[in-house]
Amino acid sequence: IRPISYVSQRPFIQNSTLRENILFGNQYDETLYNQVISDCCLLQDLSILPAGDLTEIGERGINISGGQKSRIALARSLYANNNIYLLDDPLSAVDAHVGQYLFENVILKLKRLGKCVVFVTNAMQYIKFMDNIVVIDNGRITQHGSYNDLMNDTNGLLCQMMSSFNETLRQSDIIDNLSNNDSNGNDNIIVEVKLNAINSLNNNLDLSKKVGDGKLITVEDREVGDVNINIYIKWLESSGGLIVGFILLLLCIANESSNILGQWWISQLSQSFSTKHHTILTSKWFHLVIYVLINIFVIAIVVSQE
């Protein structure tokens, strides 16, 4: 069985540093690592993070964006250097230009290296680069074959989707051209507004709160000493008052007492088996009945505490 790398739509991120999320237990190879970082468009992110690739990432990547999670997952799969890659729509969370960069430097690169890549996507612009295409509609395979063969089927779903996609691109180009012609006189206003917004944001930031070592998890402060009696009083009041607290205390005492009584009664039961001459009080059946009643009482106490 050949090793497989899998990248899901919702990338798995462990509570560790960015580097450890990419290595994922593998030996550190600086040359390979740097190449993977570059291919997955993570260099700019490392320059922003306070400790670079040694910055700690929170549980499930709570302190990074969805696009960063996807690129870290891609980098992890690339670094593993396996033979088979299952990529479940990994470019859906990144920007269009970043997605194009990743497609050229990751997916097409894997193809050139002779790796087997199963690439799931809704992005039509990548379809023509695939060797073999499987079209799935509502959970069913409707078409299967090469790009040219499927495009020759004018009634097929892929041909219809590509026609709609190309029409959308054409209309988008027309809108972009019109916008470029109309925006020349407004560039200065837009730039001024953006600069004012950035300056205002920078003035409001508390730079002293930045963590320079990139650590997200810190040692908690702990107080040592006795718990104040007022804490217990507050707890009793929030639990229903002193009467309810007293009843709960009695139930706890009864529960522990019944457990001790049950253990003692088992010892009496074992002695009854060794007794040759039985009376009503030394009969093994008498001890069994009492033991069952004790356990019923214990169960009733536990249920009442729930």
How many angstroms separate the first and last alpha carbons of the chain?
51
Which pLDDT tens digit goes with each residue over 60-96? 667 788 888 889 999 999 999 889 999 998 888 888 8
The bridge status of strand 133-137 relative to strand 140-145 is antiparallel
| Res 197: pLDDT | 43
Rounded to an integer, the average pLDDT of 132-160 is 88
Which pLDDT tens digit goes with each residue over 222-263? 555 566 777 777 777 776 777 777 777 787 887 777 777 777
| Res 202: pLDDT | 44
Whole-structure pTM value:
0.56
Write down the domain spans for the chain. 4-187, 229-305
305 vs 130: CA distance, rounded Å: 63
Residue 134 phi/psi, 5-degree rounding, is -120, 115
| Res 108: pLDDT | 92
Rounded to an integer, the average pLDDT of 104-125 is 90
For residue 229, give both structure tokens.
């009696």
| Res 207: pLDDT | 33
| Res 189: pLDDT | 41
Q: Maximum distance among all alpha carbons in the chain?
A: 113
Among 17, 13, 12, residue whose Cα is nearest residue 217: 17
Q: What is the DSSP letter of 103?
A: I
Does 209 have pLDDT greater than 50? Answer: no
More confident residue, 290 or 275: 290
CATH topology of domain 4-187: Rossmann fold (3.40.50)
